[in-house]
Chain A
Amino acid sequence: AQSVTQLGSHVSVSEGALVLLRCNYSSSVPPYLFWYVQYPNQGLQLLLKYTTGATLVKGINGFEAEFKKSETSFHLTKPSAHMSDAAEYFCAVSAPNTGGFKTIFGAGTRLFVKA
């Protein structure tokens, strides 16, 4: 079975500061890992994904995440926050299941960016 834990339901950073959103997962099989972002009144948008290969993955809008198997973590970072990054972020794990890939989501972390 898979599960995802996001540490911190709310994170506040100043514009220009480092963004770090934490995610730990549990999976009985090699997982596929995702970060999604949801802007107000919009759907879920894929930021980045890890499947196999390089453990540091880069996504859109300057975000990146590193898969650390030993720590079962997939934290999301961005060197310099922008006001437009204010949104809710979801970490998710997916694994083969009965012919498909059921995705398990974390509870979400709402990012606030202060001017």
Chain B
Amino acid sequence: EAGVTQFPSHSVIEKGQTVTLRCDPISGHDNLYWYRRVMGKEIKFLLHFVKESKQDESGMPNNRFLAERTGGTYSTLKVQPAELEDSGVYFCASSPYYEQYFGPGTRLTVT
């Protein structure tokens, strides 16, 4: 069974540009989560989808971040425009219930 995949693995962009991160969950997992780790700090929750619906987006930092989950399958996280403080590792996880399976993360560097 394929695990959670994320694309790209690394992205380097300039301040003000737009970046879109993609997450493909494990097939059949209704729950999809996004997390972020900035500058060696805690891994922080961003948002949670159940199928295609946003269940909890309390962790989204501001309106420059937009997450979507098309048809309850893969999810995208767009940052527009990117700022320096957005640099970090973005993790996606999927879950059938409480145990979450994490992807390898996307390392985003904003210069």
A interface residues (Cβ-Cβ under 8 A, vs B): 32, 36, 42-46, 49, 51, 90, 94, 96-108
Contact = CB atoms under 8 A, between A and B. Distances in A.
A45 B91 CA distance: 12
Contacts of B72: none
Contacts of A94: 98, 100
A104 B45 contact: yes
B42 A100 contact: no
Contacts of B103: 43
A78 B33 CA distance: 30
B43 A105 contact: yes
What is the predominant secondary structure among interface residues of chain B facing chain A? strand
Nearest to A106: B42
Interface residues of B, number: 26
Nearest to A103: B100
B48 A100 contact: yes
Contacts of B27: none
Given A43-B102, A98-B56, A103 B42 contact: no
Nearest to A101: B98
Contacts of A45: 102
A100 B55 contact: yes
B56 A97 contact: yes
16 contacts: A36-B102, A43-B105, A45-B102, A46-B99, A99-B50, A99-B55, A100-B31, A100-B56, A101-B97, A102-B45, A103-B100, A104-B45, A105-B35, A105-B42, A105-B44, A107-B42
